[in-house]
Amino acid sequence: MNQIAEDEPKTVLHLFCEFNGIEVPEDIENDVIAVDIDGVSELWLSYLGDGEVEVYAEIEGIDVTDPGILRLLLEANFMGMATEAARLSINPVVDLVVLSERWDYERLLAEEALADLARFARLVASWRSEGVAMLKSKKNGDEDEVAPPTEDVTILRL
């Protein structure tokens, strides 16, 4: 993989937006942009350097101070049981759960990038609704009270 020169990190995010018909932000601050895909807001793309981009979204409503919830999050990460290729972590700055994937810039600029991002957006939407409810329900021991997932939503197994 070719490395991107020091003066080109923003170019990758600009090219991604232009290639996929997404409005290019006037200023890409700190090599980070937020995009909305298929009605899912605030999917973040952050250029990390060395040709890598972190694709992530925050998941609100999860108590990151609860050891039982944290265990369930780790279980969801195990072999991608509930996260597909993504991983769950905690943003230490805002104390929110984050669902993320690491892509190389070639994947970001591939023809399938928007489809990959749409798949990630569906997973985020699922975690923001059914995932949060399922975590709380499983923690409280009343798993049967979780509403069934709607169509086109990833099924989360915790």
Is 137 a residue whose pLDDT tops 80?
yes
Using pLDDT thresholds of 50, 70 and 90, give the confidence band for residue 4.
Answer: very low
Q: Would 157 be classed as within a structural domain?
A: no
User: pLDDT above 90 covers what percent of the chain?
Assistant: 49
pLDDT digits (tens, 9 = 90+) for 21-38: 888 777 677 788 899 999
Domain total in the chain: 1
CA angle 83, 86, 88 (to 5 degrees): 75
Q: Is the pLDDT of residue 2 over 50?
A: no
Q: Three-class SS of residue 40?
A: strand
Q: Residue 153 falls within a domain, yes or no?
A: no
Over 70: is that where the pLDDT of 1 sits?
A: no
Instruction: Report pLDDT for 130.
Output: 93
Structure-block tokens of residue 34: 């937020």
Query: What CA–CA distance (Å, rounded) separates 84 from 126?
Result: 12
Least confident of 29-38, 58-67, 97-106, 147-156: 147-156
pLDDT at 53: 93
Is residue 97 included in any domain, yes or no? yes
Q: Concatenated DSSP letters for 79-146? A: GGTTTTT-EEEEETTTTEEEEEEEEEHHHHTSTTHHHHHHHHHHHHHHIIIIIHHHHHHHHHT-GGGS
152 occurs within a structural domain? no
List pLDDT tens digits, range 114-130: 999 999 999 999 999 99
Q: What is the pTM of this model?
A: 0.79
Domain membership flag for residue 151: no
Question: Cα angle vertex 144, ends 56, 148, to 5°?
Answer: 55
pLDDT tens column, 38-91: 999 999 999 898 889 999 999 999 999 999 999 999 998 998 888 888 999 999
- Within-domain flag for 41: yes
CB 130 within 8 A of CB 147: yes
Report the C-alpha gap between 156 and 46 in whole angstroms.
26
Token pair 């597909």 in the structure block, residue: 84
* Per-residue buried b or exposed e for 45-78, using 16+ beta carbons within 10 Å of the residue's own CB: bbbeeebbbebbbbbeebeeeeeebbebbeebee
Supply the CATH number for residue 79's domain. 3.30.1460.10
The pLDDT confidence band at residue 100, using thresholds 50, 70 and 90, is very high
Q: Does some domain include residue 154?
A: no
In a domain, 118, yes or no: yes
Specify the pLDDT at position 154.
56
Short-list 133, 135, 129, CA closest to 72: 135
- CA end-to-end span of the chain, whole Å? 36
